[in-house]
Amino acid sequence: MVALLGLIWGASFLSVELALPVYGPLTVAAARIALGAAALCALAVALGQGLPQFGRVWLFAAGMGALSNAMPFALLSWGQLRVTSGFAGITMAVVPLFTLGLAHFLVPGERLGPRRLAGFGLGLGGVALLIGPGAFAASGIEGEGVARLACIAASACYASGAIVTRRCPPVAPVALAAAALLSAAVMIVPAALLLEGVPHLSGGAPLGALVYLGLGPTALATLLIVAVVRGAGPSFLTLTNYQVPVWAVIFGLVFLGEALPPPFFGALGLILAGLWVSRGRARTGVV
């Protein structure tokens, strides 16, 4: 599931890039969330799970919707208008660092150990090797500094959302994912309509990108997030963020004709080693 998340999230940066020339950043975020919410609500009803009963679960669902969807989607869509793609990619690799610190204090059984730290260090080294020092080169666009802060804030949102998901009371996974996206849609759709107006739908690649963003990196990804975080913990989920730049490079090669970076295979090896080391169990039981 972590590998699948890396794949569909790796394609999301390409999809956002295709949609932004036609739709505003808030509209892109709102459209993908609304479409994802509709898909998961229909699936929850079809499976007989429905939506959670009103109570504590909805408070956690609202927190998930805000921190894992509404806020980071809006921040990244706006940020991608002003920052280099390399910088946007490397900020996703910062998510594990935020999550490690939060989970250490807030999630039982997620305390830091030498094996886990070694695994995350290998993964981070792979990302740094893949992206290279050019990630921090300035683009010269006005407002770039604020946009960089927005990308880092999105990483902090993802980390916090994973903690909220882990701490949520027991509930059917599809119902929880649907409630989270429905909560996010209630937050962001009115804001998008107020600030950017009713969008004029355009056919072709921009509309196809929105559909993919809604069904793949939003609806399906939210289901996978719930399953991974509730089963393996938020720290393991963040290993996805080390894979995203790898898939972004592959999609750039296949669909945009971009050259494969020379350190690609070395970076991929470090990332896979980090996944194995971090998830494996030491004989002492400390991970």
**Higher model confidence: residue 169 or residue 260?**
169
Tell me: pLDDT of 27 over 80: yes
- Kindly report the average pLDDT of the chain as a whole number: 82
Question: For 212-215, which contacts have Cβ atoms below 8 Å and span 24 or more sequence positions?
Answer: 212/11, 212/15, 213/12, 213/15, 213/16, 213/19, 213/28, 213/31, 213/32, 213/35, 214/31, 214/32, 214/33, 214/34, 214/35, 214/36, 214/39, 215/35, 215/36, 215/39
Average pLDDT over residues 87-99: 72
* Distance of alpha carbon 65 from the chain centroid: 12
Average pLDDT of the residues in 222-236? 83
Summarize pLDDT for 158-174 with one digit per residue, the tens: 989 989 988 888 889 89
What is the rounded average pLDDT of the residues 229-234?
Answer: 80
Reported as a pLDDT band with limits 50, 70 and 90, residue 279 is low
pLDDT band at 60 (very low <50, low <70, confident <90, very high): very high
98 close to 155: Cβ distance less than 8 angstroms? yes
Of 165, 158, 175, 178, which is closest to residue 35 (Cα–Cα)?
178
Averaged pLDDT for residues 116-132: 74
Residue 187, token pair as written in the block: 């937050």
Is 265 a residue whose pLDDT tops 80? no
* Distance between CA atoms of residues 270 and 118, nearest Å: 11
Tell me, rounded to whole angstroms, the distance of Cα 63 from its chain centroid.
15
Tokens found for residue 178? 């649907």
Whether the predicted pLDDT of 282 surpasses 60: no
Query: How do the residues of the chain divide into helix, strand and coil, expressed in percent and rounded to 5?
Result: 75, 0, 25
* pLDDT tier, 211 (very low <50, low <70, confident <90, very high otherwise): very high
The residue type found at 222 is T
Segment of 74-78, 129-133, 169-173, 193-197 carrying the highest mean pLDDT: 193-197
pLDDT at position 286 = 33
Query: In this structure, what token pair is assigned to residue 260?
Result: 């494969």
* Residue-level pLDDT at 218: 93
How many Cβ atoms are within 10 Å of 101's Cβ, its own excluded?
12
Domain ranges for the chain, please list them.
Answer: 2-279
What's the average model confidence in pLDDT over 175-202?
A: 94
CB atoms within 10 A of CB 142: 8
Q: Is the pLDDT of residue 129 over 60?
A: yes
Q: What is the pLDDT of residue 133?
A: 66
pLDDT tier for residue 283 given thresholds of 50, 70 and 90:
very low
What integer pLDDT is reported at residue 138 of this predicted model?
62
Residue 134 pLDDT level (bands cut at 50, 70, 90) = low
* Range 277-287 average pLDDT: 47
Nearest to 76 by CA among 188, 162, 165, 174: 188
- pLDDT for 284 beyond 60: no
284 vs 241 pLDDT, higher one: 241
The pLDDT value recorded for residue 231 is 80
What pLDDT is recorded for position 220? 93
pLDDT band at 66 (very low <50, low <70, confident <90, very high): very high
Give the pLDDT score at 179: 96
